[in-house]
Structure 1
Amino acid sequence: MPKRLICPFGQNNLLHTLSAADRTLIEPHLQHVDMDRRMVMEGPNKPVEHIYFLKSGVGSTVASSESGRRIEVGLFGCEGMSGTSVVLQTAHSSFEVFMQISGEGFAIEADKMRGLLEQSPSMQRHLLRYVQTLMTQTSQTALSNGQCKLEERLARWLLMCHDRINGDVMELTHEFLSVMLGVRRAGVTVAIHMLEGKGLIRARRGEIVILDREGLENDAQNSYGVPETEYARVIGFDRPDA
């Protein structure tokens, strides 16, 4: 079964699907960056200094409580960007945003991005549509966390990561997964063993290999697919002037 997010090879799809005029505006201000695992893009309640458009890898948006509890509320890869608070015309991030799987991308200064959005209403509309897809993803994550078994939640999360990487191998530890899913490591271990027992994945030290994507989608049931469909509808994968 094919992946749901098909970005142009080596490109960020949000940039790719801008109009030709908007690409001409933004491209001189983009700086190529290598993005290592755990690289921090935003800190909670701190000013956003740079916005990142990923070409590869996976970024994670994590909410935390005063007591130190953390859970992932969103993720993005070559289809998306960090810094959505800037698109919404606020200066500070409410979340921690960092790389969970290393990759590369483009960076632009937040102040420069604000200027471009004021200059180009069409660019602002385009990125606001992306914010809409993130809102859909976050709402589905909340629904999944509240209604689904841990095994289903893990299957959904692995599918979402799989959509955003090249190949079938993901560098992920049980500790990292426990933060992403908001559960103890022991619970993650049990869920991984259940998916392994069905032949859907293979877990090795520090990585997970997807063996049966169709089986994972069946295991995730209806918890997976809504945000991906919304992204295809609202953003798509083809240039408007192609």
Structure 2
Amino acid sequence: MNLLHNGLVAQLPPTDQGLLLRRCEPVELKAGEILSAPGAASGHVYFLLSGTSVALVVRNGGGSGLAVGLAGREGAVGLQFALGLGAGHFTLLVQSSGAAFRADGAVLQRLSDRRLGMLRTFAGYLWVFSQEVAELAAAAQVQDIQARLARWILLSQVRTHQTELQLTHAHLADMLGVRRAGVTLAARNLKDRGLVDYRRGRIQILNLEGLATVAHAQQGAQGDLLDDNELV
């Protein structure tokens, strides 16, 4: 594993990269693992590597959730702890298993307090990521399940750079905050249109352009998904 393969770390000057590396440890993340729960006052920062993705989920009192962001190798999750902030209302849930580098948030805060360029890089990433949060929240209000499902599948492909994704209908329903039956029907429609294929918890993307057309439906010009280049 190489920390420099993370897009956010790659932006830092070599001196800052070295300082960060000495404070990180390599870890393997498993799908379904919770990295941070709401209300946590402290925690770790995870710099994700290729194939790994972590969802930012908001849950209500009954346990129902809505994913409002997805991070991959372009960035990191848990950066709020490096800024001296708590977890807030968010749950960090691993969607795709893979490798990452982990650093203690308090340790990273002390480091970034001394390295203004590092702090600005982290803050800039969080600002751009917040635009994705706003975009997904808006989509949940105006798009139907099929468009939102296409959007999440497409975003998952962008973050992992994989066209075959390990995503069950139950997980997708949890991410979209809808019933599993609704996801099953929407997935069947996407399959019938030749955009995806699925079986046994795996979704194979067959037509990225067609999937993007469905994902942007009902949202007009504001429907462009953020890609890795916009986040780094």
TM-score for both structures, normalised by structure 2 = 0.91
Residues 191, 9 of structure 1: alpha-carbon distance in 2 compared, 3 angstrom cutoff: farther
Task: Give, in angstroms, the shift of residue 62 of structure 1.
Answer: 0.8
**1:4 maps to which residue?**
none
Task: Give, in angstroms, the shift of residue 226 of structure 1.
Answer: 4.4
User: Which of 12, 26, 35 is the aligned partner of 1:41?
Assistant: 35
Higher RCO structure (Cα 8 Å, ≥6 apart) = 1
Task: Give, in angstroms, the shift of residue 21 of structure 1.
Answer: 2.2
Residues 55, 233 of structure 1: alpha-carbon distance in 2 compared, 3 angstrom cutoff: closer
Equivalent AA in structure 2 for residue 11 of structure 1 = H
Please state whether the residue corresponding to 1:203 is helix, strand or coil. strand
Match status 1:51 vs 2:51? no
Q: Are the counterparts in 2 of residues 168 and 210 from structure 1 also a CA contact under 8 Å?
A: yes
Identity level (%): 30
Equivalent AA in structure 2 for residue 176 of structure 1 = H
* Cα separation, 1, equivalents of 2:65 and 2:45: 23
Q: Are the counterparts in 2 of residues 63 and 71 from structure 1 also a CA contact under 8 Å?
A: yes
* Cα separation, 1, equivalents of 2:17 and 2:122: 13
Task: Flag structure 1 segments of 5+ consecutive residues without an equivalent.
Answer: 1-7, 236-242
Task: Give, in angstroms, the shift of residue 9 of structure 1.
Answer: 11
Please state whether the residue corresponding to 2:70 is helix, strand or coil. strand
Residues 49-97 of structure 1 show CA distances to partners (whole Å, capped at 9, x for unaligned) of 2110110311011111112221111110101111132244313442110
Equivalent AA in structure 2 for residue 155 of structure 1 = A
Q: How does 1:36-115 map to 2 (within 5 A)?
A: 36-56=30-50, 57-115=52-110
Task: Flag structure 2 segments of 5+ consecutive residues without an equivalent.
Answer: none
Equivalent AA in structure 2 for residue 30 of structure 1 = C
Residues 123-175 of structure 1 show CA distances to partners (whole Å, capped at 9, x for unaligned) of 00001011111110011011111111211111111110001224311111111
Q: How many residues align?
A: 226
Residues 63, 234 of structure 1: alpha-carbon distance in 2 compared, 3 angstrom cutoff: closer
Q: Are the counterparts in 2 of residues 48 and 93 from structure 1 also a CA contact under 8 Å?
A: no
* Cα separation, 1, equivalents of 2:36 and 2:57: 10
